[in-house]
Chains A and B, each alone.
Chain A
Amino acid sequence: MCGECGCGDEKIVPVDVHERMLAGNDRAAQHNREHFHENGLVSINLMGSPGAGKTLVLEATARALGRDAKLGVLAGDLATDNDAARIRAAGIVAESITTGTACHLDADMVHHGLHHLPWRTLDYLFIENVGNLVCPAVYDLGQDANVVALSVTEGEDKPLKYPTMFRKADLVLLTKVDLLPALDVNVATIEENLRKVMLRPAMLLVSAKTGQGIDQWIAWLRGVGRPRGAACATGIGVEP
């Protein structure tokens, strides 16, 4: 039985598995993705540090896009319904996924979260992941695109410190750019660092407070699922 390893012990059976450890999550994510596509829904996995401005971006998105398209949000947090409540106050449907101690969302959590949201009627679903630059990058949720919110106050070297997260990103939203005059932060350095880690570097400068860059962000969203071109070229900084 153990002809392969030559140990001579007939009881030992080597079995080749060659399967991704997250194959179970991948299957659940694919299931979500099929549901989304059958219903013509564009889904965005919005990630970033705690306090990067993810919820504020979604509130600004609700104001800018909420009249033209039906938006929904699944907001992941360890505890509280605060983010979903803020987003509902901005006029779009939102549901919390409280993860307890889990540091990320997985595809099953999203699937269960969908049961509490009229997702079939939506044009866009934003999955606001748990604030964390490490773990969420590892789990496919069934999204069409990964967007990472990175605030200018987090410093220039975050892309280099958390390469996996930025490597998986289709777009980086550099948030809170209204604060730049008060900070000693060089946007060109952030851009250079993103170029080192992102597979297809793309960054937009936004301020949910002043509205700067929100039009470009909406244009980018409208292009999700379509061949990339003009929508992204309007972005300041990194080109598509």
Chain B
Amino acid sequence: MHEYSIVQAMFDQIERVAQTHGAQTVRRIRVRIGEFAGVDPTLFQSAYEVYRIGTPCADAVLQIEHVAAGDDLILDQVELEVR
């Protein structure tokens, strides 16, 4: 269940990006997960549902793009709500 530690790493990245832009809230997260990344997208989504509670991502939509025959494990884009 390394998906949990990967989601944790992604949250650290998102927090850094949000801080840089002075954002309190994340609206959308786009990630790319390859077939050979060794990460199960369903488990990734489940881990995300657990971690998001009480964070700036609490209401953010997670969009997972599946990549056939790739080993991508990429945080592509975040949409931030900036006051």
| A, B from the same assembly | yes
Interface residues, chain A, with chain B CB atoms under 8 Å away: 1, 5, 11-25, 102-104, 106, 134-135, 137-139, 163-165, 167
Cβ B81 vs Cβ A12 within 8 A:
yes
Cβ A15 vs Cβ B78 within 8 A:
yes
B33-63: CB near A (< 8 Å → 1, else 0) gives 0001111000000000000000000000000
Residues of B within 8 A of A18 (CB): 74-77
Task: Given A11-B83, A21-B13, A24-B12, check contact A138 B76 (CB 8 Å).
Answer: no
Cβ A21 vs Cβ B10 within 8 A:
yes
Among A22, A25, A134: residue with most chain B CB under 10 A: A22
- How many positions in chain B have a CB within 8 Å of any CB in the partner chain? 29
Partner of A14, one of B36, B73, B79: B79
- Secondary structure type dominating chain B contacts: mixed
Task: Given A17-B17, A164-B37, check contact A1 B1 (CB 8 Å).
Answer: no
Alpha-carbon separation in the docked complex, A13 to B77 (Å): 10
List of 5 A-B pairs having minimum Cβ-Cβ separation, nearest first: A135-B2, A164-B38, A138-B38, A21-B10, A13-B80
Residues of A within 8 A of B78 (CB): 14-15, 17
Alpha-carbon separation in the docked complex, A12 to B82 (Å): 6
Cβ A134 vs Cβ B2 within 8 A:
yes
Among A15, A103, A104, A106: residue with most chain B CB under 10 A: A15
Residues of A within 8 A of B21 (CB): 13, 15
Chain A: which residue is nearest B78 at the CB level?
A15
Cβ B73 vs Cβ A21 within 8 A:
yes
Alpha-carbon separation in the docked complex, A17 to B10 (Å): 11
